[in-house]
């Protein structure tokens, strides 16, 4: 089930050899259940850090992150990433090349019975428009088809929240535009709360209900998207 996301005055810092770098300051946003939010901003402003903090890959030094009724992060609470019920479609999260499409999509369902897993994989492959692709291998698919399989894999365990980090940046212009609209429709059909990060303003407006503009680790605007 999708859930509302709330970030309240979140701070995240990185500690490196040259000392502390504050990547997010006093970062707050509210995203209602079933809505799609998009973060825009120049390179290095902290977009990926927001997603990493929500996913549980970075601890927060101040503030809190809440998903539905669950407190996920605060300076004293840190729920492990695999316990957060958050799905991810990141550019670097490629498909497993040695597994066929059905096994890729069913990967997060390994604890379910074979029959339940098979039914859910079929449902998801139909949802992403690739009902026949189960026995094929990732290298036999186009880049856009691979990204749709990655989306099916992330949606399969029915996460409370989906995070998408520049999911279309490796694709050419026409494929990218088509896939942006397809992914939006799939997320809407699933009633999925989602946060997308992109550099592309047009893509952000095509996909999102709410647009956040970031600058230097801060959210400078959070407004309703203007649908084309
Ligand atoms: N592991 C790390 N250690 C130290 N600093 C980091 C680390 N990861 C990111 N940063 C710094 O934190 C800031 C925010 O990085 P982040 O990757 O969140 O930006 P971004 O907006 O997603 O950028 P891009 O659009 O280029 O992906 C940058 O100044 C970056 O150099």
Angstrom distances, CA of residue 33 to CA of 64, 79, 81, 151: 18, 20, 20, 19
Whose CA is closest to atom 5 on ligand 1? 14
**Ligand 1 pocket check for 92: Cβ under 6 Å:** no
Q: Which atom of ligand 1 lies closest to the CA of 214? A: 21
Whose CA is closest to atom 25 on ligand 1? 43
Per-residue pLDDT tens digits for 69-96 = 999 999 999 999 989 999 988 776 679 9
**Ligand 1 pocket check for 215: Cβ under 6 Å:** no
What stretch of H or E contains 47? helix 47-55
**Ligand 1 pocket check for 44: Cβ under 6 Å:** yes
Per-residue pLDDT tens digits for 101-140 = 999 999 989 889 999 999 999 999 998 889 999 999 999 9
Q: Which atom of ligand 1 lies closest to the CA of 50? A: 18
**Ligand 1 pocket check for 42: Cβ under 6 Å:** no
**Ligand 1 pocket check for 17: Cβ under 6 Å:** no
Contact residues for 142 (Cβ-Cβ < 8 A; gap 6+): 175
Contact residues for 222 (Cβ-Cβ < 8 A; gap 6+): 29, 210, 211, 212, 213
Q: How far is the CA of 23 from the centre of ligand 1 (A)?
A: 7
Q: Which atom of ligand 1 lies closest to the CA of 21? A: 5
Q: Read out DSSP for 93-125?
A: -PPPTTS-HHHHHTGGGTTS-HHHHHHHHHHHH
**Ligand 1 pocket check for 47: Cβ under 6 Å:** yes
Q: Which atom of ligand 1 lies closest to the CA of 52? A: 18
Contact residues for 190 (Cβ-Cβ < 8 A; gap 6+): 2, 127, 155
Among 15, 39, 43, 46, the mutation site with the greatest number of ligand 1 atoms within 8 A of its Cβ is 46
Whose CA is closest to atom 3 on ligand 1? 14
Q: Which residues of the chain have pLDDT under 50?
A: none
**Ligand 1 pocket check for 14: Cβ under 6 Å:** yes
- The model's pTM: 0.90
Whose CA is closest to atom 4 on ligand 1? 14
């Amino acid at each position: 089930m999708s859930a509302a996301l709330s970030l309240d005055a979140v701070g995240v810092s990185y500690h490196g050899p040259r000392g502390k770098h504050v990547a997010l300051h006093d970062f707050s946003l509210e995203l209602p259940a079933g809505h799609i939010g998009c973060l825009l901003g120049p390179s290095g402003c902290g977009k990926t850090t927001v997603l990493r903090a929500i996913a549980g890959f970075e601890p927060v030094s101040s503030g809190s992150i809440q998903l539905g009724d669950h407190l996920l992060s605060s300076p004293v609470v840190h729920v492990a990433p695999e316990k957060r019920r958050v799905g991810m479609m990141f550019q670097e999260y490629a498909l497993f090349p040695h597994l066929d499409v059905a096994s890729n999509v069913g990967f997060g369902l390994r604890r379910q019975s074979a029959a339940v897993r098979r039914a859910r994989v079929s449902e998801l492959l139909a949802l992403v428009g690739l009902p026949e692709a189960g026995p094929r291998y990732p290298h036999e698919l186009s880049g856009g088809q691979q990204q749709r399989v990655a989306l099916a894999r992330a949606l399969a365990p029915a996460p409370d929240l989906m995070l998408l980090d520049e999911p279309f940046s490796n694709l050419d212009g026409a494929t990218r535009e088509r896939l942006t609209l397809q992914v939006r429709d799939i997320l809407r059909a699933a009633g999925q709360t989602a946060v997308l990060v992109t550099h592309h303003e047009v893509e952000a407006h095509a996909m999102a209900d709410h647009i956040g503009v970031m600058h230097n680790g801060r959210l400078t605007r959070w407004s309703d998207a203007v649908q084309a």
